[in-house]
Amino acid sequence: MLYIGHSKAGKTGSLTPLVPNFNLRILDFDNGLDVLKMHVQRLYPERLSSVEYVTLRDTYKMTPTGPECTRPTAFYEAQKLLTHWKYDDVDLGAPAEWGPDCILVIDSFTFMSTAAFNAVEPMSGKDKRAAYGNAQRGLEKILAIIQSDEFETNVIVTSHIRYVELEDGRKKGFPTSIGEALSPVIPRYFNTVALCEVGNGGKRTIQTAATASIDLASPNPFEMLPRYDIETGLAEIFKVLRPKPEKEKPNRPQVIKPTFKR
C-alpha cells in the first residue's frame, strides 16, 4: 500500500488502529513516531511490544556553503534491515518471511529518497545528474523487491506529495522522491494507493477514490469505500485488502436425489 499525504496530515498516527491485529515494524526516516507511541500507550498499552521500529538518520553539519551530510549511513542501514532485521540484541529475521500478521512500514519514502541521494553523492563526483540517477535506481530496486511475490509480508510506504506539471498543463500530485523522474513511476508498484488529507474544518480522512489532481487505486473497488475516518480507516481498509479466511465448513455426506422419469 502506498499511503500519501501532506506533512502533518496524520499518516503516522493513523497507523494506530492496525496495532491490535498486526505487528508493525517501521523503518523510521522521519523521526516522527512520538504521536504513534502516545496513541498506542493510551489505546492499546498491552500491544506496545507489537510495534518495533528503527530510526535511521544521516548526520549533518553546517558549513560556509550550507548543510553538508557528513555521515550518510541511513540508506545503507535500511538495505541491511530489509535483508535481515538485526541490530544489537534484536533479530527478527528476513522481512520477506514475516508473513501476513506483520506490516513493514517505510516512513517515509520521501526522506528515504534523501538518504539514498546522500549515500551515492560522494561516489558520483561533481556530476549531480549521476547522483540523482544512481539514487533513483537504488530506490526503484527496493520498490521492486517489496512488491515481489517473494516478499510475503504486508507493506505500507508513506510519502509526501509533490505536484508535477504535465505536458497538457495540468498539475498532478505524485509521491515525493529525489529528482523528478521517479515520482510518477512509484505508484506503478502498488495496487493500493490511498490519500491522507485534512478537509474543511480540520477533519482528517483517508481517501481511496481518485481526485482531480491525484490518482488513487484499490484492487477491490467494489468493497472499498471512497473515504474513511482517520481514527479507524486503515484497519477498515485492511479488512477489505486482507479479509480473514472463512472457517471451513464440515464435510457433509452428499445426498443424491432420485431422478423420476415419466
| 92-108 confidence digits (pLDDT tens) | 999 999 999 999 999 98
Q: Where in 88-152 does DSSP place strands (E)?
A: 90-91, 99-107
Boundaries of every domain in the chain: 2-241
**How is residue 188 annotated by DSSP?**
G
The label of the residue with cell 523528478 reads 180
Environment class of 71 (CB within 10 Å of its CB; exposed 0-12, middle 13-18, buried 19+): exposed
| Rounded average pLDDT over 56-73 | 87
User: Which run of H or E residues covers position 172?
Assistant: strand 171-175
| Rounded average pLDDT over 175-194 | 91
pLDDT band (50, 70, 90) for residue 259: very low
The label of the residue with cell 497538457 reads 168
Q: Of 198, 197, 194, which Cα lies nearest the Cα of 235?
A: 194
Instruction: Give the fold, CATH level 3, of 2-241.
Output: Rossmann fold (3.40.50)
Entry pTM: 0.87
Q: Are 154 and 97 in contact (CB under 8 A)?
A: no
